[in-house]
Each structure stands twice: as C-alpha cells, then as structure tokens.
Amino acid sequence: MAPLRSICDALFAHSYDGRHRIEVDETVGAVQAWLGRQSSMWRDAWEAARDRSLREATREVLRRSVCVVPAGRDDLKSTPPMLVVTTALRVLRLPLRILVENGRTDGGRFLRRVSDLGRRNERLKRFLDEGWLEFDSAGGNSEMSEVIKSSHANPAWNLRHYAIFDSDALHPNTPSPTADTLLRRCGKYGIPHRCLLRRSAENYLPPAALEQLWAGSGDERLRRVHAYRDLDQPGDRPERRHHYAMKKGFRGSPERAEPVPHDDGLYAGLSVERREVLAYGFGGSIRDVFGIPSADWERRLLEDGQGDEVGGMLDEVFSFR
C-alpha cells in the first residue's frame, strides 16, 4: 500500500478543486499525532482543503458520503458506506455517470437544455468539461433495470451512478409497470434516481418551442403543434399534454396505424377533430428540438411549470457528484 501521506494527498486533492469534500476527525489522538509530524507546508495545504470543505458545506448539502477506513472490507450496507482506502481512491476518481435512455438526446440535449433553468447550464458545463459527470446510454426502462441488477454489487459502479428515466405514465402519479419495476430496483440497490413525472422527456418540450420551430410553415405540423398546445382545454388540464404520446400520437403512424395506449378518462373531453389532428404524433426525432438554440428557453420552461421538478432534479444530480 502507498504511504499514508501519499494516500492523504490523493484524497485531499478532490477537495482542492471543489469536487468532493473531505472531513477528518481531528479529535482522535492518533490523527492529531500524525498531523503534528507533517511539515508546516503540508499542514497549511491540509487546512486550506479542510476549510474549503467547511465553507462549501454551508452552501450546499451533498447527498452521498462515504467513510474511508485503512483496512478491512468494503461495506456498502453501512451508513454511510465504508470503503477501504484503495476502493475509495478508485471511486473518488470516477465521474458520476448519469444513466439515461440515450446519452445523445436525453443527456446531450434534454438535460443540457433544461439546465437553462436558473443558469444551471454553467455548472453543468463545468462538471462535463472537468470530467466529473458523464452521460451513459442504458436503453429503455427494461434494459436499464437489467443493467442495475447486474452491476449494483460493484462498489465503484453503485456509488458513481444516478438514473433518470421516463415514467411512461398514462396519467399523473402512476408509472408504467416497467418504470415501477425500475423504481423499486433502484430503491432496493441504493441507486439514486429520478423518474420523470410526465410521460417522457419529450413531454417537457414547451409548446412555444415547437411553435417557433414550425412558425410560418402553414402545414400539418403547425396544426398539430396548436392542437398539442391546446390539449389543456377544455377544463384547464395540462396533464393531457404531460401524458400524450409525443412520438406516436393516438394511432402510431399512417403506415401502421394502431391504438397507442392513453388514459380514456383523461382525454374523454377531447373533440374528434383535435384527436384526429394529433393521431400520429411528432415522430421519433422530436427530442432533437431540445437542441435548437434560443434565448427564450428558460422563460418557456418556467411558463410550462417545469421549474420545481426539473430544477430540483438537476440540483440533486449535482449533489451526488
């Protein structure tokens, strides 16, 4: 094993750059004695790292802690998880990997775009640029569930993953059976996660963004956008937009029309005309709209009521870094 001084240097480095926080119980006699034997220059560096950690602790609560022990065995079931030094060094160097269905559209576009809320985009960009955070394509909910089942026992994997996934919900607060299985599996194995409240990531596209994209086109797509925008009515029920199948609509595609699951009660008041306009949805590439630059994204996301849910999700991701 590397000398204790080298190990401490490697651990403290994570506090210098602001990525992790390091705490040492300086009330323990052996710790006091060891610190006292170090050079004044080294103690000054340690105190700077410690003080930075203390300052940061007053600004943000981190959601993941580990206890580093000099020897023995890793224990993920303890609170907090206990890691031997060699495991801790390996884990702390790893990025936090965000499990999503598709790293390009969900991570690179959806999460980057909604980070415009509260200027979280600057922080997300830094985390990505520094290599502290990465997006990991895990496939749909069934595939992600299997990935978690097969990988959770590895401490390095377990402690450095966060899952974000569609609820596939047909109405509020009722994830699909597959999403519910994934939720329970994340809870069972201690994987931090967020299940989107709306049906899928594309349901977070504000209607105004779609209107801008197809403004002036005068074609069927713009009629579809307006019908989607007005799904709230009658009755002021935005949950109709939140749980509409954006990709496939009510009937899939003209080439292979077949009913797409929706909650009949939720759409009972929808006119036949509007249902017909929305029959085939917006297509499989609709999430790409998140990649369109616009200075109005934050305003539109807030107008669509996304601030608390999506902003809170990003803050939680940052707190697990």
Q: Are residues 132 and 166 in the same domain?
A: yes
Cβ atoms of residues 49 and 9 within 8 Å:
no
**pLDDT > 80? residue 163:** yes
Name the E strands within the chain.
67-69, 82-84, 96-100, 133-137, 161-165, 193-195
Residues 134 and 209 in one domain: yes
303 with 265, same domain: the answer is: yes
Query: Collapsing DSSP states into helix, strand and coil, what is residue 318?
Result: helix
Tell me how long the chain is.
321
Tell me: do 220 and 71 sit in the same domain: no
- 314 plus 201 within the same structural domain: yes
Assess whether 83 and 110 both reside in one domain: no
- Pick from 10-19, 22-31, 76-85 the range whose average pLDDT is largest: 76-85
Query: Which strand ranges, in their side-by-side order, compose the sheet holding 161-165?
Result: 133-137, 96-100, 161-165, 193-195
246: pLDDT confidence band, cut at 50, 70 and 90? very high
Tell me: do 62 and 31 sit in the same domain. Answer: yes
Q: List phi, psi (to 5°) of 195.
A: -95, 120
Residues 85 and 126 both lie in one domain: no
State whether 137 and 59 are in the same domain.
no
159: three-class secondary structure by DSSP: helix
User: Residues near 18 by Cβ (< 8 Å), separated by ≥ 6?
Assistant: 52, 56
0.85 surpassed by pTM: yes
pLDDT digits (tens, 9 = 90+) for 279-311: 999 988 898 889 888 768 999 999 999 999 999
* Domain limits for position 44: 4-93
* Same structural domain, 79 and 183: no
Q: What percent of the chain has pLDDT over 90?
A: 51
Residue-wise pLDDT tens digits, 72-127: 899 888 888 899 888 888 888 899 999 999 988 888 899 999 999 998 999 999 99
Domains identified in the chain, total number: 2
Task: Among 73, 93, 113, give the residue marking a domain's end.
Answer: 93
Task: Mark which of 65, 93, 121 sits at the end of a domain.
Answer: 93
Residues 108 and 89 in one domain: no
Choosing from 93, 127, 145, the residue where a domain stops is 93
Q: Is 39 exposed, middle or buried (0-12, 13-18, 19+ CB in 10 A)?
A: exposed
Checking if the pLDDT of 1 tops 50, the result is: no
67, 109: one domain? no
